[in-house]
Amino acid sequence: MDLRPIHTDDEHRAALAVRTGLAGVDVPVASAIMTAVDPERYTVIDFRALQSLGIETANRSLNFYLAYLRACRRIANDNGVTLRNLDHALWQWSSEQSAP
């Protein structure tokens, strides 16, 4: 049984808001920090992962990231992979699409 606490969007928002409050840290960098701290709960948002999902415009808002995180969790869960494996797969697919 998994006894880890369930975190709500508000808790995720607060954690990310603290990091984006630092000079020079926007949502993509904050997502990378949070992923390094807790890769089971967070994933990196970057242009390659977004491109793999058919999203061409990078929205850097906290709300967009939280929606992206929920979608990634659902995709990872539906496919029986970790968030990190999903992130790597999305990045790899995008990278291969842009290769000559």
User: Can you give the residue ranges of every domain in the chain?
Assistant: 9-98
Cα 31 from Cα 44, distance rounded (Å):
5
Token pair in block for residue 95: 């990278």
The predicted pLDDT at position 29 comes to 82
Q: Residue 5: which pLDDT band, with cuts at 50, 70 and 90?
A: very low
pLDDT digits (tens, 9 = 90+) for 59-71: 778 888 888 888 9
pLDDT digits (tens, 9 = 90+) for 17-57: 556 655 667 778 888 888 988 899 889 998 888 989 888 87
pTM metric for this prediction: 0.75
